[in-house]
């Protein structure tokens, strides 16, 4: 992706670095809150925790790319001052950052699909959280199945000079379509389908309850909570649109040396991290404050007990 001048490359690294730090802080707080009070987070909401954990690793990969500059994505200079972009996984650091970024970004998408599925089972099919949790091993199996695809994608890894990390499909349109675009489209379709099916079921139940004169406040709160997280479809759609832009015009850029729209790439990186940033808002409530208060109380009592002994 050597279409941009040095100023734009510097701006891109700072841009991605800032959003990565914000994403890491938000998702790490979400994961730590879960560890402090595990019993609070049951299905169908628990996939949000695993999704946040995935985004923590993704943000750490981008932070590493920001701190390392072009050390991972570019070959060592020879006699000339011209830098060449890494192709393949021979340079140390490149495959590690790729595995972190690709595996966990795809796993986060799968966990969003699982979240949509569990919402549908809970709201639409009237499954209890115990019934959903009984099948949780299949959810983890689905999320870890991406390992096989990751291994296949390793042969198509290139350096990304904008972010400072290695990824698949940077130079190959076919790799971009097969390993990035196709999976993202499938995940978006499945997740959206489950969400829509859940909403249809909820609206039907709400209509029946209103007709019978039953209060619908709890049901409407559930609909709002599902609706908030269904906003994930917006950044996911934007990212896919950006990838479509890349694969559609890549050949033209290479043949004519025309510069792509820099803004599209910056929007893509922002949308890739924005879900992780907003996932922290899900747990901002009085319950979270109470969870941390109880945690600090336990710590204080344990320290006091040790001092007494």
Q: List, for residues 139-180, the tens digit of each pLDDT value.
A: 878 877 776 677 666 677 888 888 888 888 888 888 899 889
Q: Residue 139 has which token pair?
A: 């959810």
- Domains of the chain from N-terminus onward: 6-287 (1.20.1070.10)
Cβ atoms < 10 Å from Cβ of 56: 24
| pLDDT class of 51 with cuts at 50, 70, 90 | very high
Q: What percent of the chain has pLDDT over 70?
A: 82
Mean pLDDT over 32-37 rounds to 88
Q: Residue 240 has which token pair?
A: 């896919």
Is 70 exceeded by the pLDDT of residue 34?
yes
Locus of tokens 């709890």 = 218
Q: List, for residues 171-217, the tens digit of each pLDDT value.
A: 888 889 988 999 999 999 999 998 888 878 777 777 776 666 666 66
Higher pLDDT, 251 or 265: 265
Is 60 exceeded by the pLDDT of residue 279?
yes
pLDDT of residue 218: 66
For 183, phi and psi rounded to 5 degrees? -60, -40
Q: List, for residues 61-97, the tens digit of each pLDDT value.
A: 999 989 987 776 665 554 455 555 555 556 677 888 8
Is 80 exceeded by the pLDDT of residue 284?
no
| pLDDT class of 254 with cuts at 50, 70, 90 | confident
Query: What is the distance between the alpha carbons of residues 24 and 240, in angstroms, rounded to a whole number?
Result: 23
Side-chain-side CA neighbours of residue 164 (13 Å): 24
Q: List, for residues 93-129, the tens digit of each pLDDT value.
A: 788 888 889 999 999 999 999 988 888 887 777 777 7
**Bridge partners of 202?**
none
pLDDT of residue 165: 87
Higher pLDDT, 12 or 214: 12
Is 90 exceeded by the pLDDT of residue 278?
no
Query: What is the distance between the alpha carbons of residues 144 and 141, in angstroms, rounded to a whole number?
Result: 5
Least confident of 86-100, 101-115, 222-236, 289-303: 86-100
**Bridge partners of 158?**
87, 167
Mean pLDDT of the chain: 82
- Map the chain to HEC letters: CCCCCHHHHHHHHHHHHHHHHHHHHHHHHHHHHHHHCHHHCCCCCCHHHHHHHHHHHHHHHHHHHHHHCCCCCECCCCCCCCCCECECCCCCCHHHHHHHHHHHHHHHHHHHHHHHHHHHHHHHCCCCHHHHHHCHHHHHHHHHCHHHHHHHHHHHEEEECCCCEEEECCCCHHHHHHHHHHHHHHHHHHHHHHHHHHHHHHHHHHHHHHHHCCCCHHHHHHHHHHHHHHHHHHHHHHHHHHHHHHHHHHHHHHHHCCCCCHHHHHHHHHHHHHHHHHHHHHHCCHHHHHHHHHHHHHHHHHHHHHHHC
pLDDT of residue 18: 96
Q: Which residues are CB-contacts of 13 (< 8 A; sequence separation ≥ 6)?
A: 65, 66, 69, 162, 163, 164
Is 90 exceeded by the pLDDT of residue 55?
yes
């Amino acid at each position: 992706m050597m279409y941009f001048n040095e100023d734009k490359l510097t701006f891109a690294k700072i841009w991605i670095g800032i959003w990565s730090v914000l994403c890491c802080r938000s998702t790490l707080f979400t994961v730590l809150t879960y560890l402090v009070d595990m019993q609070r987070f049951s299905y169908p909401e628990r996939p949000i925790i695993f999704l946040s954990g995935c985004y923590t690793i993704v943000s750490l990969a981008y932070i590493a790319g920001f701190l390392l500059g072009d050390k991972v994505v570019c070959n060592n200079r020879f006699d000339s001052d011209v830098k060449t972009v890494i192709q393949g996984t021979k340079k140390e650091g490149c495959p590690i950052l790729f595995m972190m970024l690709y595996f966990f970004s795809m796993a986060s998408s799968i966990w969003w699909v699982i979240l949509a599925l569990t919402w549908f089972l809970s709201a639409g099919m009237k499954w209890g959280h115990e019934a959903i949790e009984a099948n949780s091993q299949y959810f983890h199996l689905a999320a870890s199945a991406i390992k096989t695809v990751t291994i296949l994608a390793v042969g198509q890894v290139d350096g990304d000079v904008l972010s400072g990390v290695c990824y698949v499909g940077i130079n190959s349109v076919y790799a971009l379509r097969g390993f990035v675009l196709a999976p993202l489209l499938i995940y978006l379709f499945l997740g959206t389908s489950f969400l829509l099916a859940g909403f249809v079921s909820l609206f039907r139940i709400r209509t029946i309850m209103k007709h019978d004169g039953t209060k619908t406040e709890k049901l409407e709160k559930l609909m709002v909570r599902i609706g908030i997280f269904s906003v994930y479809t917006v950044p996911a759609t934007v990212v896919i649109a950006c990838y479509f832009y890349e694969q559609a015009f890549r050949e033209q850029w290479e043949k004519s040396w025309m510069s792509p729209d820099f803004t599209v790439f910056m929007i893509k990186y922002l949308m890739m991290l924005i879900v992780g940033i907003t996932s922290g808002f899900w747990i901002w409530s009085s319950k979270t404050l109470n969870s941390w208060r109880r945690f600090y109380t336990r710590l204080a009592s344990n320290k006091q007990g040790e001092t007494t002994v």
